Amino acid sequence: MSKAPTHTTTTDRYLQAIYCIEGERETARPGRLAYWLDVSAPTVSDALQRLKRDGWVSIAPDRSVTLTTRGNEVATQLIWRHRVLERWLTDVLNFDWATADEEADRISSAMSDAIVTQIDLSMGSPATCPHGNVIPGRKAPYGQLVALADLEPRTPATIRRISEVAEHEARMLLSTLAEHAIKEGSEVTVSRMNLEAHEVEVVVGGRPLTLTSDAAKLIWVEIN
């Protein structure tokens, strides 16, 4: 009987990327993964063939990529570790969002499941990461969400989630939100949609802020 392949750091990156893309209700395809992981198309193609060979992913005729049961199990565990550590870095060690995301990537592989579990328990097993994305195995502490870009003007709402896309493709958005002390739980209203400039003017916590329409699509809110 052949030995089951172990997952490498590269494998982990791809499994997490596919998991997060699926979590945003998107389809994972080679081009999307190349952009997400900031690698070339040939690099992604080669990696996906190895992942398929080793039983981590399935590739459909239309080139869409999905996790196998085994791939999903590993990805879920990796995401659990990352989101718990992000919460710890922000809530306990007072790192900002963007830095916490980067540091969680660095330290995750160096910590055992036992340590991460104890960190998780010490915080009361939070439901989400600092950006409001649900920690695997937990229930979302909010109801139906709508993208800030689709929120009707002057409708009061509460920021509940920042898309995973922001963590990987729009880190500047995380920095901008941190600079304005905007976080999960912040009250927000749209004051004006500037369609010509592709901007959304909002008021968050009583302070005005202008976001690009693309950035506003990455912020999910719950109508009050």
pLDDT at position 178: 78
pLDDT at position 119: 97
pLDDT at position 88: 97
The DSSP code sequence of 133-177 is PBPTTS--SS---EEGGGSPTT--EEEEEE-HHHHHH-HHHHHHH
In a domain, 159, yes or no: yes
For residue 115, give both structure tokens: 């340590």
Domain boundary among 22, 45, 67: 67
Q: Which residue has the higher pLDDT, 35 or 28?
A: 28
Question: CA 191, CA 159: separation in Å to the nearest integer?
Answer: 15
In a domain, 201, yes or no: yes
Work out the pLDDT band at 145, boundaries 50, 70, 90: very high
Helix orientation angle between 97-108 and 69-91, rounded to the nearest 10 degrees: 130
Q: What is the mean pLDDT of the chain?
A: 89
User: Span 150-161, mean pLDDT?
Assistant: 94
Question: CA 155, CA 174: separation in Å to the nearest integer?
Answer: 23
46: enclosing H helix or E strand: helix 41-53
In a domain, 58, yes or no: yes
State residue 151 phi and psi, 5-degree precision: -75, 130
Which residue, 33, 60, 35, is CA-closest to 45? 33
Domain boundary among 34, 51, 67: 67
In a domain, 75, yes or no: no
Percentage of residues of the chain with pLDDT beyond 70: 95
Domain boundary among 67, 93, 116: 67
Q: Give the tens place of pLDDT for each residue, 66-88.
A: 999 999 999 999 999 999 999 99
Based on the structure, what is the number of domains in the chain? Answer: 2
Whichever domain contains 201, its CATH number is: 2.30.30.90
pLDDT at position 124: 97
Work out the pLDDT band at 48, boundaries 50, 70, 90: very high
Helix, strand and coil content of the chain, in percent to the nearest 5, comes to 45, 20, 35
CA–chain centroid gap for 125, Å, is 19
Measured between alpha carbons, how far is residue 205 from residues 153, 159, 179, 183, 185 in Å? 16, 11, 13, 10, 10
Question: CA 87, CA 89: separation in Å to the nearest integer?
Answer: 6
Whether the per-residue pLDDT at 2 is higher than 50: the answer is: no
Work out the pLDDT band at 102, boundaries 50, 70, 90: confident
In a domain, 218, yes or no: yes
pLDDT at position 197: 83
In a domain, 100, yes or no: no
Whether the per-residue pLDDT at 139 is higher than 70: the answer is: yes
Q: Give the tens place of pLDDT for each residue, 167-199.
A: 666 667 777 887 777 888 899 999 998 888 889
In a domain, 127, yes or no: no
The parent domain of residue 178 ranges over 146-223
Q: Give the tens place of pLDDT for each residue, 110-122.
A: 899 999 999 999 9
pLDDT at position 195: 81
In a domain, 136, yes or no: no
Question: CA 81, CA 83: separation in Å to the nearest integer?
Answer: 6
pLDDT at position 7: 66
pLDDT at position 170: 64
Whichever domain contains 60, its CATH number is: 1.10.10.10
Whether the per-residue pLDDT at 1 is higher than 60: the answer is: no
Residue 179: other Cβ atoms inside 10 A? 10
Question: CA 89, CA 95: separation in Å to the nearest integer?
Answer: 6
